Amino acid sequence: MKVTERLLKAALPVWESYYTHPFVSGIADGTLPVDKFQFYMIQDHKYLMQYAKVFALGVIKSVKESDMRLFSGLITATLDTENAVHQSYLGRLGITKEMIEETPMCLNNESYTNYMISVSFKEGPAELATAVLACSWSYKLIGDFMETVPGSGEHPFYGNWIRTYTSREFRECNDTMIDLVDRLSEGYTEEQLQNLERILLHCSKYEYQFWDMAWTKGESYTP
């Protein structure tokens, strides 16, 4: 069994729970209130900026030039491919750069991204790659799920978001992440593999909390 097959088995029950979350299912059937999506887009934009920094740490921690180039390419994919759909929606929603800068990160968002960056600083490239795999792989599976909802990809508002995560480019990028984790964790001990599972599950739970944060517009985190 590949390392990522083991990781998938551990995380799949958490990832599949996303499909019935009202935020995710609301995108799929087009019923999600736009104000919730607007809140999500601002927070997700902030998330992506931190996500790219994790890949930057991957460049620093790489030994091989090929891995440096791979992590560098993932930075570009995050800032160009994923960020492109954000810029499109932010423009349609009338959200300015100033509005994004003035909006603080929600507690979950800050905790989640700080956790990924902490793992990336303290541990090795395989652990770093595993920390970001929860987001990449679960979004790919969410895209797969949304393809089963008739007409979801053609929705006049949410269709563009759905098509981004069902695109060949995104799926190829996710496959690259899967292969990277397998390669970097080659020869790992059982203790190290259990640590990878722990990291992936922590990030997967953060992902669920991110959907909750978006659905409540951060209200559950207000004292």
Residues annotated catalytic, as ranges: 135, 207
Q: Quick one: tokens of 106?
A: 């929600």
**In Å, what is the CA distance from 101 to each residue of 42, 45, 83, 215?**
9, 10, 16, 21
**In Å, what is the CA distance from 25 to each residue of 14, 43, 97, 195?**
15, 19, 29, 31
Residue type at 117 in one-letter notation? I
19 by Cβ neighbours in 10 Å (0-12 / 13-18 / 19+) ranks as: middle
The Cα 46–Cα 199 span in angstroms is 21
Q: What is the DSSP letter of 106?
A: P
